[in-house]
Amino acid sequence: MSKVQAPELKKARRENWEASVSHLDEGRRRRATPGEQQSNGQHARSDSYMDKLLFVNLQGHRKVSGYLRGFDIFLNLVLEDAREEGSADKTECGTVVIRGNSVTSMELMAAR
């Protein structure tokens, strides 16, 4: 390979690499702004649950209900006016953070 071809080859490789990773940068920007809608509609669906009453089933047969105030990509949830629902009673918990890996299911109950 001659010295003349080497810079052209490096430039071609760099352009190829930049094209292959450009979609990764776009994905990071989309995640950095939760209010922005993604092209696949992921945030549009998730934002529709904000400020609405959710019923959340957790591992260990625990159930919690409250108004969704926030979430992240790991499904960590912030619920306001939360209450843990037992077999006969409901325990008021206030504002709680629920770790995402303990969530088994969620159900939309009502809007505020």
State the pLDDT at residue 69.
93
Q: Is the pLDDT of residue 84 over 90?
A: yes
Cα–Cα distance list, 14 to 2, 17, 27 (Å): 19, 5, 20
- For residue 97, give the nearest of 70, 62, 59, 61 by alpha carbon: 70
State the pLDDT at residue 95.
94
Task: Give pTM, 2 decimals.
Answer: 0.58
Higher-pLDDT residue of 41, 67: 67
Compute the Cα dihedral for 94, 49, 46, 64 and give only its sign: positive
Domains of the chain: 5-43 (no CATH), 49-111 (2.30.30.100)
